[in-house]
Structure 1
């Protein structure tokens, strides 16, 4: 047996990645409030508005050097960007907005809380992955926390028509979970293959691809919208779309991409728990109430889950360094 020292850069990558993941979760948690702030607009319009703003801002930020980046991206990368834009942005947000409007934030938080389990399972063969045996305590805590978050939502006293609406929202949340899992895994692997492009530039190119999809979505979204809206309603939709695009799509995605380059995929999955944590906190602040006992327990379990995952990765890294 011999001992190999771990470089300072390697030792510092995990804390920096975790901080970036926390920042991304804090910003992404805001998207759960957007459907609540604009309840009269369809999920299609919410997604189109948000990603039109994202695409325009990404295009503006790329204006000075966009031609170079556009040429640098290969045809295969553009195909990958289109797929990531669909699974992680356009389709995902349509499903998320529909889920929140029909089933509420608690149920959506419950379902999205299972994302770390799926991402960790998908990343088992990636470099730096930690075995399921070491991740098991963290994953069990994650599941327990998610169940606590949505326990009351899973046992509502609903009328038959309300129950159908709730089940539709739950189905949308599950589909959103699958869509974002595909994005998280695909994006982390795409970033690992990048050599001559920064994570921020990759995010902006994703924004351009998403903006094109948002533009294509606008006309059918307007045709499908059957509700009349006053001028101030459209202003509110525009304001919410712009704020969410800046905070979640530009800043949040940049932090997430930075984190994805610093952390192994199995730990990347754990970081999405911060979105669940902040979404729940924002929902409570919006409702102007303290968490119920189960909700408070869920927050403790979520935080403990992330700490357990960090401990598992630290132990694994030490074993590899001394093995």
Structure 2
């Protein structure tokens, strides 16, 4: 029965991770949809909407939740909001707009490797040697995704490429810190539901967006017309609802169902769906390298699931009665 419950948790957690990746893949499209707006404006617009929605949803439960939270909890929420939302999205958007989606996807594609290596130190984690096939497949997928970006004839030349690469690496570091910290924060606070935790992070992120609002709006009103602002608002609200509210809730649910070493692998779904949305947006078929990347992503996740399956030992035969059962 224990093995069956474990297998059910793995299946439900994987489904939640795939759904979260499908919604999070949309954030790569936002900088392309409203390219005339800066990464800071994109971040502030998205997280103002996220914070407002979170405040409306959490209102009826505010008294109960406020009694459960300590000063330390609020500090944890603040740095999770900074690393996983505000700073991460500024860096991601800058990477996409300066170095392009392929190079940014390449770097972000290494998130599973980084998170899994950190998570391997947790108690009862699957040893890295058992995860080696999955990690190698994931690294191969990331290399395939960025193959064209690494081609000197196709890469963005000059300073823009260097800045974009640095921002993508910064985003990788930010989300590695967030993924590990968020999983551990959820595990240490069983009294707070994953939905409420997501909304609380939304409040913290919204507060940070309010602080950044004057900087984002500096000189922006004169640079854009009403139509552009309307499109910007629609994209901001759409990404906030799909990625920040629903996607984060699914991710938090997954974080409680799966071990941390497997949580890292689920991030690959974001890369896969980002590519699919990119093909649709650019109205083209994937290249052989991109097909190989998608195949490796799927193989990596399946390999990781296999590594986390419970190991059933056969019962000893009558002739082996002298050997104790384990």
Which band: TM-score by shorter chain?
A: over 0.9
- Is the aligned partner of 1:126 residue 2:122? yes
Number of the residue aligned with 1:292? 287
Number of the residue aligned with 2:106? 110
> RMSD in angstroms over aligned alpha carbons?
1.8
Cα offset for 1:106?
A: 1.0
Q: 1:267 to 1:224 in 2, by over 3 A?
A: farther
Structure 1 segments of 4+ aligned residues over 4 angstroms from their partners: 224-227, 319-323
Number of the residue aligned with 1:264? 259
Unpaired runs of 5+ residues, structure 2, are 315-324
User: Under a length normalisation based on structure 2, what TM-score does the superposition of the two structures give?
Assistant: 0.93
The separation in 2 between residues aligned to 1:239 and 1:320, in whole angstroms, is: 55
Q: 1:158 to 1:21 in 2, by over 3 A?
A: closer
Q: 1:25-49 deviations in whole A, cap 9, x for unaligned?
A: 0000000000000100000000000
Q: 1:128 to 1:100 in 2, by over 3 A?
A: same
Cα offset for 1:233?
A: 0.7
User: Under a length normalisation based on structure 1, what TM-score does the superposition of the two structures give?
Assistant: 0.94
CA contact (8 A) 1:25 1:273 kept: yes
5 Å-filtered alignment, 1:266-285, equals 266-285=261-280
Q: 1:318 aligns with which of 305, 311, 321?
A: 311
The separation in 2 between residues aligned to 1:261 and 1:127, in whole angstroms, is: 15
CA contact (8 A) 1:135 1:309 kept: yes
The separation in 1 between residues aligned to 2:220 and 2:251, in whole angstroms, is: 33
Cα offset for 1:320?
A: 9.0
Alignment size in residue pairs: 316
Q: 1:255 to 1:320 in 2, by over 3 A?
A: farther
Q: Which deviates more from structure 2 when the two are superposed, residues 98-107 or residues 174-183? A: 98-107
5 Å-filtered alignment, 1:15-54, equals 15-54=11-50
Number of the residue aligned with 1:183? 178
Q: SS where residue 64 of structure 1 aligns?
A: helix
Cα offset for 1:125?
A: 2.2
Cα offset for 1:66?
A: 1.4
The separation in 2 between residues aligned to 1:273 and 1:86, in whole angstroms, is: 22
Q: 1:320 to 1:19 in 2, by over 3 A?
A: farther
Q: 1:76 aligns with which of 67, 72, 81?
A: 72
Q: 1:130-174 deviations in whole A, cap 9, x for unaligned?
A: 111111111011111100110111114269x83321221111101
Q: SS where residue 241 of structure 1 aligns?
A: helix
